[in-house]
Amino acid sequence: MSFWNNFRKKVDKEKRDKHGETLWDTDELFLHCDLQENLHQIRQAVGNSPDVIIREFEIGSPQAQVAVVYIDGLADKNMVSDFVLRSLMLDTAEETFKNRVSDKSIFDFIKDNALTVGEVKVIKDWKGLILSIFSGDTVILVNGWVEVIGSSTRGGESRGIEEPSSQVVIRGPKDGFSESIGTNISLVRRRIKSPNLWFETLKIGKVTQTDVAIMYVKGIVNDKLVQEVRQRINDIEIDGILESGYIEELIQDETFSPFPTLYNTERPDGVAANLLEGRIAIFVDGTPFVLLAPTTFFMYFQSTEDYYHRYDIIIAIRLLRFLAFFISLLGPSVFVAAVTFHQEMIPTPLLINLAAQRENVPFPAFVEALLMEVSFEILREAGIRLPRAIGQSVSIVGGLVLGQAAVQAGIVSPAMVIVVAITGIASFATPAFNMAISVRLFRFVIIIFAALFGFYGIAISNLIIIGHLCSLRSFGIPYMAPLAPFISADQKDAILRLPLWSFLTRPRLISQNKITRMEQDLKPSPPEKKGDRNEN
């Protein structure tokens, strides 16, 4: 045994010299035959942390030394007690007493017959051992063996399934993703009961070793897209992944763009719908936000609720969202340009009222707009960060008090307060929060252009934004598709939402394997009258 251990240490040293220290800076790469040496290495690797539970006992005939190791809080204590410890200490004793172990070794008997958990695996190195423990598994070490048994006992405290807080709907499912990647995957599988729903898991982060899953529907998704997503995630070299935003920033096509090129959602029904269109979902353990790729500009103005109501109502709502988008983007800049450079475009009675309001205001319209916009953004950010019980009250009361006080003090005009308030309310109409943030950023840029060049500046800034949008790609897909390039077949669910029976094909640029998704004879028609049937 000493010769074997010395040989292992020599190989360990050679590997460390070639590849550097291991992930957890342990002294060995391989496991030892001696149980106490292995337990010593585990304690040393975790810094003698008190939450690492080690239970030693003896089983079998002749007696074999066995140890069970798990982390309190990550492993389910009931599973460890009922399906691991009880099986080893009581049930194994009965089997040994009846001489049913026969010529099997204790290690093989535990692996094949003793444990009653669903998943059992054999671990052969230190990296796999430590990773299994910190994933919530329970590992079983047997004296004299250079392998250990890992049993799936993952559990611990976690948030249950609740209604999504960032994407609230009136009609539709109320369940949302949680911080458990296993729970999130099961919520999607509950909606797509097909063997073609595939997913593969990866470990990302040198220190955190975060579970990341790529999910897609085989036969619908473009295979080149799966390969591209897999390659980009595998190329990530970072110490830790704590949220899906890390993945989003590291794999997106355009680095220096305020517009999001990956869609994030908390809704399982939204993920299922996009998977059926040929997109890929990226799950990250520890966050309820799932990424969808590729994405387009018009996805950020669509809600899962759009497909649960009548299409004619949703057409009006979508047009309202786009109107609110343009108001939130251009509202203050149009007012600044009109008051500063283009007074002739304002009706005379309104112009007289505006001039009377601005008579005692010492600042130009541009400074007014900046003061009010910055104040509104500070109030909005404060309302988000404050506790829920007072956050909403502070933002509403603060806006009313500051606006009224600013008007009475002659710092801003009442018309500017109205414009900024309408602009702020319109920004909340965008379903996607990350798109609304981008609009808030560009709003300040357009105000500056409007203050310098009037409506010409607004036109120039809009042309720059449109050109930038048309240059963006999301995993090779044009960001403005299906408008640029124009695809007539995909206009049924872009700006408008036509009836579901008209969705005969999937998006052309996203899914290229199985385009057709609905038969052409599904258009509803009124039933025949009784008299007509009798005549026939």
pLDDT tens track for 279-298: 999 999 999 999 999 999 99
Looking at residue 18, what is its pLDDT?
44
118-164: pLDDT as tens digits: 888 999 888 889 889 988 899 999 988 888 999 988 887 777 888 88
- For 521, the enclosing helix (H) or strand (E) is none
Q: How confident is the model over 329-342, as a mean pLDDT?
A: 94
Looking at residue 21, what is its pLDDT?
44
184-200: pLDDT as tens digits: 999 999 999 999 999 99
- Using pLDDT thresholds of 50, 70 and 90, give the confidence band for residue 17: very low
- Using pLDDT thresholds of 50, 70 and 90, give the confidence band for residue 3: very low
pLDDT at 97 over 80: no
Query: How large a percentage of the chain has pLDDT more than 70?
Result: 87
> Which of 43-52, 186-195, 208-217 bottoms out in mean pLDDT, i.e. has the lowest?
43-52
64-86: pLDDT as tens digits: 889 999 998 888 888 888 888 88
pLDDT at 229 over 60: yes
pLDDT at 217 over 80: yes
What long-range pairs does 38-42 form, CB within 8 A, spacing at least 24?
38/67, 38/141, 38/148, 39/67, 39/69, 39/141, 41/126, 42/69, 42/129, 42/130, 42/133
- Using pLDDT thresholds of 50, 70 and 90, give the confidence band for residue 99: low
Count the alpha carbons within 13 Å of 113 in the hemisphere toward its beta carbon.
Answer: 15
239-276: pLDDT as tens digits: 999 999 999 999 998 888 999 999 999 999 999 999 99
- Using pLDDT thresholds of 50, 70 and 90, give the confidence band for residue 516: confident
Looking at residue 111, what is its pLDDT?
84
pLDDT at 234 over 90: yes
Question: Which among 9, 18, 73, 76 is positioned nearest to 37, based on CA atoms?
Answer: 9
Q: Do the beta carbons of residue 223 and residue 322 sit within 8 Å?
A: no
More confident residue, 82 or 520: 82
Looking at residue 508, what is its pLDDT?
82
Quote the CA–CA distance of 413 and 17 in Å, as a whole number. Answer: 71
Report CA 221 to chain centroid distance, whole Å.
Answer: 19
pLDDT at 16 over 50: no
Looking at residue 530, what is its pLDDT?
52
Looking at residue 4, what is its pLDDT?
44
- Using pLDDT thresholds of 50, 70 and 90, give the confidence band for residue 513: confident
Q: Do the beta carbons of residue 200 and residue 283 sit within 8 Å?
A: no
Looking at residue 292, what is its pLDDT?
96
Number of Cβ within a 10 Å radius of residue 504: 14
Looking at residue 30, what is its pLDDT?
73
- For 200, the enclosing helix (H) or strand (E) is strand 197-204
- Using pLDDT thresholds of 50, 70 and 90, give the confidence band for residue 308: very high
Q: Do the beta carbons of residue 196 and residue 219 sit within 8 Å?
A: yes
Q: How confident is the model over 309-332, as a mean pLDDT?
A: 94
Looking at residue 453, what is its pLDDT?
94
Quote the CA–CA distance of 484 and 478 in Å, as a whole number. Answer: 7
Quote the CA–CA distance of 503 and 520 in Å, as a whole number. Answer: 9
380-406: pLDDT as tens digits: 888 777 776 666 666 666 777 777 888
Q: Report the predicted TM-score, pTM, of the whole model to 2 decimal places.
A: 0.85
450-484: pLDDT as tens digits: 999 999 999 999 999 999 999 999 998 999 999 98
For all residues of the chain together, what is the average pLDDT?
A: 85
